[in-house]
Structure 1
Amino acid sequence: MEMTIASRGHIPDRDSTGGGKPATIAKGRSSVGRRGSASRNNRKAISSAKRAIRKLRKQERAWRPKRAIGPYMFFCKDQHANVTADNPSIPFTEIGKILGAQWQQMNEKDKKPYIKRSEVDKKRYEKELKRCKLK
């Protein structure tokens, strides 16, 4: 049995009469799709409800403490001014690459102060988070 595209449920390239005309699809609005059959006012109500939910979520996040900073970020904060002073004309992305290369070349002994600062900041974050959750 020969299986054609039309018999598998796909739209054929040509109409079923065998003529040379390509198959056409109606251009009317369908009740099925991304927007569905919802009215314009209903869509506005849904979008305003979504905005209200986003606003509430943002307010929920406002009271949360700032997250703890990792050792690499402490290193970047300290060294950013030095790198920009040495290379004033390079773009921001290149500064990040230079800082990343410097961080990778450092040994554990050199990274120790930044790791220590990160641990202190992590304790600060956990303390503030507990305080906020109790409220």
Structure 2
Amino acid sequence: KTKLTYFGHACFMLTRGDVSMIFDPFLTGNTWDTAKKEDIKCQYIFVSHGHDDHYGDTDFIAKANDALVISTAEIAAKAAAAGCRTHAMHLGGKFDFEFGSVRMVPAFHGAGIPGGHAAGCIVNFYGDILYFAGDTALFS
């Protein structure tokens, strides 16, 4: 059974067994103060865009866990420059991982990094389907 843990703001984690994926890991400075970056154990990190309240503790968590950072090419390059393992994706792209798949979808918001795009994703996590809108304006 998949467990969803909400850490406040736009940060949450999916866990099934020993496999976890955290989304927009903004913990340090998060007013919800529900978790510390040192306590996060995960194999995958999805980052929607480069603003600090979403990219947050990505570098620390990725390096502490040897977790794979999944994001746009620009965010992946930023994480790689910090010494993180990364998987870059384009909007509309889909990739299969150990847990299922990630399809990168558009989000309408500032990118927080030159040349970048904000993104969301549709995640198939062991058969459970989740749409993560990232930080987006309403659109149809």
Q: TM-score, normalised by structure 2?
A: 0.19
Greater Rg by CA = 1
Query: Which structure: greater strand fraction?
Result: 2
Query: Which structure: greater helix fraction?
Result: 1
Q: TM-score, normalised by structure 1?
A: 0.20
Larger relative contact order (Cα-Cα within 8 Å, sequence gap ≥ 6): 1
